[in-house]
Structure 1
Amino acid sequence: MLFQKSKHTLFVFLFALAGAVQAQAVKLPNVTILATGGTIAGTGATSTTTVGYTAATVGVQALIQAVPEITKVANVSGEQVFQIASENMSNEHWLTLAKRVNVLLSQPNVDGIVITHGTDTLEETAYFLNLVVKSRKPVVVVGSMRPSTALSADGPINLYNAVQLAGSQAAVGRGVLVAMNDQIHAARDVTKSNTTTADTFRTAELGMVGYLQGGKPFFYRDVTRKHTVETEFDVSKLDVLPQVDVAYAYANVGDVAVKALVAAGAKGLVHAGVGNGSLPAKTKPALVAAREKGVVIVRSARVGQGIVARNGEANDDQLDFVVSDTLSPQKARILLMLALTKTSDTKDIQRMFYTY
């Protein structure tokens, strides 16, 4: 009798344990990995090849299989959206990616998305998505500085961290995030700051938003600019974005670039000025003429940090120019493209630059 009771007790315990394990498995978040190529999917000739490697050669399933620990923290699925080095990222790629992200996030069985990406334009893709994703669910963009074949490749741990972050309730409603080198950055402000080192992604003055440690995200500041569901931009019916280009300023610069870009059909121009977005004497007439033709001009700065002051280095009210606030030239270009899908009114566009 005692033996039978012991058997029954053991059976109940094992049944309860199996149920607990199954319940734990069910509770894992569902994270979809969208792969776009880049160094994280790259391979080199040897294990010490960290420059001169070939990007975008490893498929999404191989990336997932290389980090089996991921399956312990999320129910992971993968899609190969495209397979390119990120210097080849285009407006068309962005629209395709954004639409796929929005479709997936509208599904109840998707809790978050990770996008693997080359680092060269990672910050731009992240900011574009930050403006057009229509969900509060986490979207995390991740890459690596060393190819998958390198000694101490940073791709596997970055991907593991990104999946943890995308499946975390703590990341909900924080906009698009970048997870690199155990750090969490906001898409609007992060930038690649070094050509080759693993700690290249920085938010220099405003600071990163958190850390990833021990498989958990720790957030220390909020993102105050509007993003994702709070924006007015909708790409669901867009197949093309307005042409917006960047004209870079430097000592002895002239008007050739501005005139060429306008002649090539630019609807908007971001002037990456020196200092506080200053307008060189040889360039200013071409910018004024472009505005008179209907091209929207945004005064930005090449220095990387700080606010471009409206009516500071130029009389923006008189010239009918827009200033970029703290956005880098490459991110100002993104916002201006999306703004031009809504309006050509410079006052309204200036509002957007102070909002997003």
Structure 2
Amino acid sequence: MNEQESAATPSGPPQRLALIHTGGTIASRPDPAGQGLTPQHAPPLPGLPGVTVQTHQPFSLPSPHITPQHMNTLRDLLGGLKDVDGAVVTHGTDTLEETAFFLHLTLATDVPVVLTGSMRHAEEVSWDGPGNLRDAAQLALHPQSQGRGPLVVFGGDVFDARTVTKVHTSAVDAFGGYPGPIGRIDQGPDGPAVRYFAGPEPRPLYAPRQLDARVEVLYAYAGWQGEGYAEAEQRADGLVIAALGTGNLPPQLLPLIQATDKPVVIATRTHAGPVLPVYGYPGGGATLQRAGAIPASFLNAHKARLLLLILLSEGRSVPEIRQVFAGGLF
């Protein structure tokens, strides 16, 4: 842990910020050997008067290398912070939404936590890292950020960890997710202007002692006859299927789901919207639910996977898991 202090403002004592670096594009530069971008240097925080900064770097990884175990390390670090008013996590964008949601489900702290990163690296003239990092720090220290759980900020837009998703592979405004941002931070002449469009909502918290369950994701497509299902079901403790539309599958999947005693969660591959088990044809959502499948509500497949992984790691039964997903309170 490193610590630096900016001059305190005359109006009060310094605010205290924990800055946690984990790698990603925001810390990346072209490799000297010409092998492509790699995480190399944690980005500096633009000067914020009156802010004392604690810096932590538990690991430095590209986000495709992040695992639930790394997320758990972050959860432990954030949960153990003392004497801070807010925390910022810099993270690669590919799995940022998964880390944010994992923390949303498991992090018990009153300290506002904001995740951010960048889409462009430090040697590009349009590097978006410094602006996102400044926004995240100001947002984490803002009093209206209390009680909201982990947040994500990119390009001034503030997102809830439950619904945020990466919607573009390369654009600077790469994050979205229905129904959209829950707030906005802009830099005005008198400092940051923070506006939230929704109030804080309750969230249940889970505390798995270890993440020892295995959950796999399968992706539905036209003409799928269940290829890969039997192998995944055999080696996993639970499955999530990114299904079609409101949660429908080809008819060949229905007997496969009927035959398992493991939890099978039905999400949707569609960009937005809930799973609604309304269709009664073979493989339709209503028949899948009668066969024992569990609708994922509005969670996408990779977030449903994290919730199922946590519940299985806690030793929850299939009826208990069904009740959690049915409640829709994530």
For normalisation by structure 2, the TM-score amounts to: 0.88
Q: Check conservation: 1:311, 1:317, Cα contact below 8 A.
A: no
Would you say 1:125 and 2:111 are equivalent positions? no
Letter in 1 for 2:38: A
Residue 76 (1) aligns with residue 53 (2): yes
Flag the 1:58–1:140 CA change in 2: closer, same or farther, 3 A: same
Write the deviation string for residues 106-165 of structure 1: whole angstroms up to 9, x where unpaired: x2x111111100000100100000011101221101010001111110001100110111
Q: Can you list the C-alpha shifts for 1:34-71, whole angstroms capped at 9, x where unaligned?
A: 1110000011379xx9xx84132113xxx12xx4423x
Give SS of 2:57's match: strand
Q: Is the 8 A contact 1:42 1:53 kept in 2?
A: no
Structure 1 residue aligned with 2:271 = 304
Residues 94-117 of structure 1: per-residue CA shift (max 9 Å, x gap): 11111111111xx2x111111100
Alignment partner, residue 208 of structure 1:
181
Contact 1:147 1:153 in 2 (8 A): yes
3-state SS of 2:286 partner: coil
1:74 and 1:25, CA in 2 relative to 1: closer, same or farther beyond 3 A?
Answer: farther
- Tell me the amino acid that sits aligned with residue 24 of structure 2: G
Which of 135, 139, 142 in structure 1 is aligned with 2:116?
142
Corresponding residue for 2:287? Answer: 315
Greater shift, 152-161 or 340-349, is seen at 340-349
Structure 2 Cα separation of the partners of residues 92 and 212 of structure 1: 32
Out of 93, 108, 124, the position equivalent to 2:70 is 93
- Contact 1:36/1:84 (CA < 8 Å) preserved in 2? yes
Offset of residue 28 of structure 1: 2.8
1:30 aligns with 2:2: no
Question: Partners of 2:169 and 2:123 in 1: how far apart?
Answer: 19
- CA distance 1:222–1:350, shift in 2 (3 Å): farther
Root-mean-square deviation (CA, aligned residues, Å) is 2.1
One-letter identity of the residue aligned with 1:257? G
Residue aligning to 1:254: 225
- How far apart, in 2, do the equivalents of 1:24 and 1:348 lie? 54
Pick one of 262, 267, 288 that aligns with 2:237. 267
Task: Tell whether 2:162 aligns with 1:194.
Answer: no
Q: Match for residue 243 of structure 1?
A: 214
CA contact (8 A) 1:177 1:186 kept: yes
Q: What is the deviation of 1:317?
A: 4.7
- Distance in 1, matches of 2:12 and 2:56, equals 22
Say which is worse superposed, 241-250 or 340-349, in terms of deviation: 340-349
Contact 1:74 1:167 in 2 (8 A): no
Q: After alignment, is 295-304 or 213-222 more displaced?
A: 213-222
Q: CA deviation at 1:251?
A: 1.4
> Residue 5 of structure 1 aligns with which residue?
none
Cα distance, 1:22 vs structure 2 = 5.2
Work out whether residues 213 and 312 of structure 2, in 8 Å CA contact, stay in contact via their aligned partners in 1.
Answer: yes
Larger displacement relative to structure 2 (180-189 or 72-81):
72-81
State the AA in 2 paired with 1:69: G
The SS at the match of 1:284 is helix
- CA deviations on 1:247-277 (whole Å, 9 max, x unpaired) are 00011223222112123x2111001101111
Q: Normalising by structure 1, report the TM-score.
A: 0.82
Paired position in structure 2 for 1:103: 80
Give yes or no for contact 1:113–1:139 (8 Å, CA) kept in 2: yes
Preserved CA contact (<8 Å) 1:165 1:216: no
- In structure 1, the gaps of 5 or more residues are 1-20
Structure 2 residue aligned with 1:10: none
Amino acid in structure 2 at the alignment position of 1:309: L
Does residue 218 (structure 1) correspond to residue 188 (structure 2)? The answer is: no
CA distance in 1, matches of 2:147, 2:102: 16
After superposition, what is the alpha-carbon deviation per residue over 1:12-39, rounded to whole angstroms, capped at 9, x for unaligned? xxxxxxxxx8563853321111111000
CA distance in 2: counterparts of 1:158 and 1:261, whole angstroms: 39
Q: Contact 2:225/2:253 (CA < 8 Å) preserved in 1?
A: yes
**8 Å Cα contact 1:320/1:346 also seen in 2:** no
Displacement of 1:193: 0.3
> In the aligned structure 1, how far is the partner of 2:180 from the partner of 2:80?
32
Q: Is the 8 A contact 1:142 1:158 kept in 2?
A: yes
The answer to whether the 8 Å contact 1:43/1:148 transfers is yes
Secondary structure, counterpart of 1:94 in structure 2: helix
| Alignment partners' CA distance in 1, 2:146 and 2:312 | 29
Whether the 8 Å CA contact 2:147–2:200 is kept in 1: the answer is no
Instruction: Please list the CA deviations of residues 185-234 of structure 1 after superposition, one character each: whole Å capped at 9, or x if unmatched.
Output: 0000011000100001012x31211111122321111354x32xxx2401
Percent identical pairs in the alignment equals 31
Q: Which amino acid aligns with 2:105?
A: L
Once residues 212 and 11 of structure 2 are traced to their aligned partners in structure 1, the CA distance between those partners, rounded to angstroms, is 42
The CA deviation at 1:316 is 4.6
Distance 1:73 1:155 in 2: 21
Letter in structure 1 aligned against 2:183? G
1:351 and 2:323 equivalent? yes
Residue 43 of structure 1 corresponds to 29
In the aligned structure 2, how far is the partner of 1:327 from the partner of 1:286?
A: 23
Distance in 1 of aligned mates of 2:302 and 2:183: 24
Query: Aligned residue for 1:4?
Result: none
Instruction: Report the AA paired with residue 27 of structure 2.
Output: A
Q: How many residues align?
A: 312
